[in-house]
Every structure is written in C-alpha cells, then in structure tokens.
Amino acid sequence: MATTLDQTIARRQRTLGGAILGSQTFWVLVAVILACLFLSFATDSFATAKNLYNITRNVTFVAIIALGMTLVIITGGIDLSVGSVLCLCSMVLAVTMHAGYGIGTGIAVSVATALVIGAFNGILIAYLGFPPFVVTLGMLSVARSLAMVASNNTVVFEFGPDHDKLLALGGGSTFGVANPVIYMVVLALLTGFVLRWTRIGRYIYAIGGNEQAAMATGLPVRPIKVCVYMISALSAGVAGIIQTGWLGAVTTNIGAGMELQVIAAAVIGGANLAGGAGTAFGALVGAALIEVIRNSLGLLGINAFWQGTFIGSATILAVLFDRIRNFRRSE
C-alpha cells in the first residue's frame, strides 16, 4: 500500500539515534572518553582522585565562559573581550574587597562591571551596526588596561575582612567536588534550559539562522543581541570571581589569550561561527577536550610548548568532520 499523506507528515526524518550519531558534540565526547581511558592505562597519575579533581576544576573557567560565548556565536557574533573582562572583573572584586568592603559588595560591583561592558558591546553591535569583531577587539584592549589602572598594575592577594570567604567560594569543595564544578554544572543546566525551552532561546537560534527573517517576523532582535553580549561578559565576570577565589591572588595578566581557548571550546563543541548552531552541553564537552589535552601532555611528559599545536589541531579537526558531513549531504 502506498504511504498516505498522513504517514508522510507524521514520519520523523531523523531518529533519536541518527541525530546523536550525526552530532559533532557526540563524537567529541567519544574522543574525550577515549582519551581518558587511554590515559588511565598509559599513566599512573591520570586516574587518581587528585588529578581528576584538578581536571574537573580547571575545565570550569573556560567552560563557564564558553557557555556565554556559545550564545553569542549562535547569534552569528563573536566576543573577543572575554579574557580581558575576566581580568577586569577579578581586579574590581579584588580591589573592592582589599579596600575593606565585604564579599557581597565585591561581587555586586564585579558583576555590575561585567554587565556594563556587555551592554556597551551589545548596544554598539545591535543598535549601531558595528561589527562584533571590531567592538570586542577594542574592548579586549580597554578592559585589560582598566584592570591595570584599577590596581596600578600590582598583584592583589589580600581581600580584606571576607578574605577567607572568597577563598572558600572558589577554592573549596562540597562532597568531594570542587565548588567551581558545581557552579559550572548549574550554569550549564540553566543555559541549556533557556536554549531549548524558552522563547528567547528559540529567538537566539532564529537570529543566527536568518537575522532578516527574525526582524521581518517582528522578533526583538536588537534587545536579544544586547542580551547575549551581556550574558557573555557576565559569564567572564563569574569565571573571574571564581578564579580569584581559587588562585587567591589577582595579577593583570590573568585571562590573557583565554578568548581563543573559549572560542575553541565552543567551536569544538559544535557551535558554528556562521551562526545558528551550538549547545550548552557542547560548550562543556569542548572545554573538557581542551583540558584533557592540556593535562595529558603534562602527564605524558611532552613539552608544554606543544599544547597550542594540539589544541589548535583539535579545533580544526572537529570542524573538519562537520565539513565532511556537509559535503556528503550536498552531493
């Protein structure tokens, strides 16, 4: 019997299994797991509680910012300022607390700084039509410079009356899991929820897919774009606050070059720089792959100078698979 129209319409083109096998994130996850298995057998030091604790904690800083970056990338933008914003927010927190204010005030001022920077980036990009690359490249320079001004380019390592609270926030652990990891998981769940289940998440994808269509449909394109740059800066600020608590000191060169790792994490995890694709889970998986590569090179006794080569190659390789799939489809 010929298939009826009803059956055709009701049929799913992609099964769940097919969708998983076709996703870049899945294969990167497989790569992470295989690398971990390999390292567990090849070295004695990988699968130890201490090393795993370190890895999971180290992942968080790049991963948290990659969540914000993923939103920006889905809309078809880019945020190069995140490393410098992390530095500025850390410094604002440190200087405020050093001056004798409590941790609550310090965090509030730091978060406000991030939001102001994000809003500035977003307004220039969304309302005045500046290219995201240029605005955020400028901000990369401005934010780090402001951090130097704020601290007179010194190292801040005394955080006033709430010193211990700050160190516990970033350096402590709960039930054997490093605190930053808990923040990362919560933020990832939140981001994932927004992207999948809310209108704003749907509109973020729509803007990346066809901005003109989104405009013509009457979606609030500009406010949403401002919003994603604010979230991106906020994620950098949050990572900065946590990292300050973990390191116990802030210098004006923390977060230098971090934007590249963050973008790499997002892209490895399946975010498409042309816009329209990316997930919160992908950002975490991408960040995990980068950290596992970094960690394993150290454990395997490979010169640390090779790090950039491996991380860069992983980025290109991840996108290569995506290209190959697209070529096959178009043939």
Site residues, another protein (CB under 8 A): 5-6, 8-14, 196-199, 202, 205-206, 208-210, 212-214, 216-219, 276-277
For another protein, give the closer residue by CB, 97 or 219: 219
Least Å from the CB of residue 242 to another protein? 28
Least Å from the CB of residue 6 to another protein? 7
Least Å from the CB of residue 60 to another protein? 27
- Degrees (nearest 5) of the Cα angle 271, 273, 278? 20
Least Å from the CB of residue 272 to another protein? 9
Q: Can you tell me the distance from the alpha carbon of 268 to that of 266, in angstroms, rounded to the nearest whole number? A: 6
For another protein, give the closer residue by CB, 106 or 201: 201
DSSP structural state of residue 21: H
Neighbours of 222 (CB within 10 A): 15
Least Å from the CB of residue 54 to another protein? 37
DSSP structural state of residue 154: -
DSSP result, 52-112: HHHHHHHHHHHHHHHHHHHHHHHTT---TTHHHHHHHHHHHHHHHHHTT--HHHHHHHHHH
Least Å from the CB of residue 213 to another protein? 4
Indicate the SS3 state at residue 237. Answer: helix
Q: Can you tell me the distance from the alpha carbon of 290 to that of 292, in angstroms, rounded to the nearest whole number? A: 6
For another protein, give the closer residue by CB, 14 or 50: 14
Least Å from the CB of residue 284 to another protein? 21
Chain mean position to CA 119: 18
Least Å from the CB of residue 16 to another protein? 11
Q: Which two structure tokens, joined as six digits, stand for 111?
A: 């978060």
Least Å from the CB of residue 201 to another protein? 8
Question: Quick one: which H or E segment has residue 173?
Answer: strand 173-174
For another protein, give the closer residue by CB, 5 or 128: 5
Spatial contact of 184 and 59, defined as CB atoms under 8 Å apart: yes
How far apart, in Å, are the Cα atoms of 111 and each of 99, 234, 318? 17, 7, 33
Chain mean position to CA 270: 12
DSSP structural state of residue 164: H
For another protein, give the closer residue by CB, 228 or 292: 228
For another protein, give the closer residue by CB, 6 or 331: 6
For another protein, give the closer residue by CB, 122 or 276: 276
Q: Can you tell me the distance from the alpha carbon of 265 to that of 171, in angstroms, rounded to the nearest whole number? A: 23
For another protein, give the closer residue by CB, 167 or 211: 211
For tokens 């209108």, what's the residue? 199
